[in-house]
Amino acid sequence: MKKHNFYAGPSILPAFTIENTAKAVKEFDGTGLSLMEVSHRSKEFVAVMDEAVALFKELLNIPEGYSVIFLGGGASTQFAMIPFNLMKKKAAYLNTGAWSKKAIKEAKLFGEVDVVATSEDTTFNYIPKDYTIPEDADYFHITTNNTIYGTEIRNDIDSPVPLVADMSSDIFSRPIDISKYVLIYGGAQKNLAPAGVTFVIVKDDILGKVDRDIPTMLNYQTHIDKDSMFNTPPVVPVYAALQTLKWLKNNGGIAAMEKKNIEKAQILYDEIDRNKLFVGTIAKEDRSLMNICFVMNEEYKELEKEFYEFATAKGMVGIKGHRSVGGFRASTYNALPKESVEALVAAMQEFEKQH
């Protein structure tokens, strides 16, 4: 039976990425060695890193004056690295979910944090709109897509202070005006690569302005100066990321991905809104294209376990909602084919007929 992979992360990757990485794990680029055992300083792997950076810049149309680096430690380490490198006295944060809260917690170790708005009062089911960004903040931090709750900021906001964004789960899903941001970061395990590598896009001239001493490994400049090779990078995930970047380019780039993502999400949201058994949990104007969250309608609540087992038997994998919110979550990242969304919708319709 065909499996339809809706996991939120680690998540579905293009077959192109998996096949090419698997081949390289066996034998990498004519070296007679596995990708897992080749030196990261070999000319063959340096070429991989260089091409990955170049494709990152090409696909996202990154202007001059920005660096792309690949690090370890996940986006969670970035929660501390950002204030370590950028906060002099005060930073502003928008609280839209669990990952925002974790970022805020880390930032408070380095100075004053102004939480300009939060949607926690309604379990983060919308993106706050009416807030004022303090002009004396060193930067303003947003999380563009919230995997647990299913909200997304799909436009590049205008900020009077340097803008920082966690784009772990929606990078490469839509065109971005990079010039509006000084730093964009994310774990790769949603839309790019297997877990183990973190990408950072940073505007070079934002660095070097804090007075504090920064530990070598936590200083962005260290990794920019050494082309992400100060220490051993996560070689296999970086190689896999390069394959995904090639796949993106081969499939029409970011604008083409956005078009497909809108179509996939619309198919599923239309069914959630139509089907009497289910109800969406997010304000319609803030619905994510990447993580689609829904629950059983109140009067059919007792059918939740039954539907989960029914859908699982039909090949749906990873549709259980996050443990903190329950219900269901279908993650519809770039690599998920439209056929998988249609299969989930067909399962929802068949289950509705039975009840």
What confidence tens digit (pLDDT) does each residue in 188-237 have?
999 999 999 999 999 999 999 999 999 999 999 999 999 999 999 999 99
Give me the phi and psi of 240, to 5 degrees please: -65, -40
C-alpha–C-alpha distance, residues 317 and 125, integer Å = 24
pLDDT at 1: 85
pLDDT over 90 (residue 39): yes
What confidence tens digit (pLDDT) does each residue in 260-318 have?
999 999 999 999 999 999 999 999 999 999 999 999 999 999 999 999 999 999 999 99
Considering the chain, what is the average pLDDT of its residues?
97
Is residue 193 within 8 Å of 56, Cβ to Cβ? no
Q: Identity (one letter) of the amino acid at 115?
A: V
Superfamily of domain 4-11+253-354: Aspartate Aminotransferase, domain 1 (3.90.1150.10)
pLDDT at 225: 98
pLDDT at 35: 98
C-alpha–C-alpha distance, residues 48 and 317, integer Å = 32
End-to-end CA distance of the chain: give it in Å, rounded. Answer: 25
pLDDT at 89: 97
C-alpha–C-alpha distance, residues 128 and 126, integer Å = 6
What confidence tens digit (pLDDT) does each residue in 126-173 have?
999 999 999 999 999 999 999 999 999 999 999 999 999 999 999 999
Q: Comparing C-alpha atoms, which of 61, 39, 32 is closest to residue 254? A: 61
What confidence tens digit (pLDDT) does each residue in 53-90 have?
999 999 999 999 999 999 999 999 999 999 999 999 99
- Say which of 170, 190, 246, 260 is annotated catalytic: 190
Mean pLDDT confidence for 34-41? 97
Q: What pTM value is reported for the model?
A: 0.98
- Say which of 23, 29, 57, 99 is annotated catalytic: 99
C-alpha–C-alpha distance, residues 156 and 144, integer Å = 9
* 180 pLDDT tier (thresholds 50, 70, 90): very high
Q: What percent of the chain has pLDDT above 70?
A: 100
pLDDT at 326: 87
- Say which of 138, 166, 170, 286 is annotated catalytic: 166
What confidence tens digit (pLDDT) does each residue in 87-122 have?
999 999 999 999 999 999 999 999 999 999 999 999
Is 4-11+253-354's fold the same as 15-250's? no
pLDDT at 128: 98
- DSSP count for the chain of H helices, then E strands: 9, 14
Active site (annotated) includes residue 130: no
Active site (annotated) includes residue 166: yes
pLDDT at 324: 81
Active site (annotated) includes residue 305: no
* 323 pLDDT tier (thresholds 50, 70, 90): confident
Q: Comparing C-alpha atoms, which of 186, 97, 152 is closest to residue 265? A: 152
Q: Comparing C-alpha atoms, which of 57, 56, 59, 32 is closest to residue 44? A: 32
Helices 253-274 and 235-250, interaxial angle, to 10°? 90
Domain boundaries, the chain: 4-11+253-354, 15-250
Fold of 15-250: Aspartate Aminotransferase; domain 2 (3.40.640)
pLDDT over 90 (residue 176): yes
